């Protein structure tokens, strides 16, 4: 592992832009997911085989979770929230591979994901309520709450970033420490725990993203 989780190792540069290890790993994960998605969906049938049935179970499961959070309009968030979940699972679990560090264990990746959620919240909020209606929602229930509501938008995005970064980074740190002190085979239970932690963190991040968007659009409220 690199020395500090707040510093990234630069692998190469594209012109004046340095490319860190976490960025290169993210690109590799994205390439694998794109190729995997193409392979799994290239021959869809009305009577699915095992491969297609497994994909449909995953997609339907994510869609059902979104609709359980958002009482209406949940299906429209499936591309965003589903992609976030699949990427986070792959990114969080990539750290168990030899010589690979999970990009979510470096601050820039959770920060980028949190910013995606931040801008998505406002995009869907404006699209659902209109610009004036969405801006007016920050003054509810009273106008005096306006500064606190604006501040909460920033703090919850920061919290989303720190939660993901802290949990994934600490998991990798514990495994590296045990591996250094105890040898190769003893950390296996810790690796199983990191897999569970990676799945849980991916779930929590995407659920919170759906909750934030639902609150912005009003779709989390009962009709």
Q: Which sequence spans correspond to the domains of the chain? A: 10-217
Higher pLDDT, 166 or 83: 83
User: What pairs with residue 211 in β-bridges?
Assistant: none
- C-alpha distances (whole Å) from 21 to each of 26, 99, 102, 174 are 9, 11, 10, 20
Q: What is the pLDDT of residue 181?
A: 64
Q: What is the pLDDT of residue 14?
A: 80
Q: pTM for the whole thing?
A: 0.83
Higher pLDDT, 1 or 138: 138
- d(C-alpha 140, C-alpha 58), whole Å: 38
Q: What is the pLDDT of residue 134?
A: 86
Cis? peptide before 101, omega within 30° of 0 = no
What's the mean pLDDT in 34-59?
Answer: 85
Cis? peptide before 141, omega within 30° of 0 = yes
Give 3-state DSSP helix, strand, coil % of the chain, rounded to 5.
Answer: 75, 5, 20
Q: What is the pLDDT of residue 108?
A: 86
What percent of the chain has a predicted confidence (pLDDT) above 70?
85
Q: What is the pLDDT of residue 223?
A: 35
Q: What is the pLDDT of residue 175?
A: 67
Q: What is the mean pLDDT of the chain?
A: 82
- d(C-alpha 94, C-alpha 102), whole Å: 5
Position 184 pLDDT exceeds 60: no
Q: What is the pLDDT of residue 23?
A: 86
Q: How does residue 219 score in pLDDT terms, banded at 50, 70 and 90?
A: low
Higher pLDDT, 204 or 144: 204
């Amino acid at each position: 592992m690199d020395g500090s989780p707040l510093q990234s190792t630069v692998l190469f540069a594209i012109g004046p832009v340095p490319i860190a290890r976490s960025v290169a790993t993210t690109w590799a994960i994205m390439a694998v997911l794109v190729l995997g998605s193409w392979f799994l969906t290239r021959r869809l049938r009305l009577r699915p085989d095992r491969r297609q049935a497994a994909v449909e179970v995953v997609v339907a499961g994510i869609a059902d979770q979104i609709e359980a959070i958002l009482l209406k309009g949940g299906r429209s968030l499936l591309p965003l929230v589903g992609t976030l979940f699949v990427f986070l699972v792959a990114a969080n679990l990539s750290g168990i591979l030899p010589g690979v560090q999970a990009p979510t264990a470096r601050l820039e990746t959770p920060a980028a994901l949190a910013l995606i959620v931040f801008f998505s919240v406002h995009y869907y909020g404006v699209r659902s309520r209109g610009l004036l209606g969405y801006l007016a929602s920050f003054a509810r229930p009273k106008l005096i709450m306006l500064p606190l509501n604006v501040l909460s938008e920033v703090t919850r995005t920061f919290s989303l970033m720190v939660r993901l970064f802290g949990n994934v980074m600490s998991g990798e740190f514990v495994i590296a420490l045990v591996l250094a002190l105890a040898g190769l085979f003893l950390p296996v239970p810790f690796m199983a725990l990191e897999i569970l932690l990676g799945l849980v963190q991916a779930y929590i991040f995407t659920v919170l993203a759906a909750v934030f968007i639902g609150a912005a659009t009003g779709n989390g409220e009962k009709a």
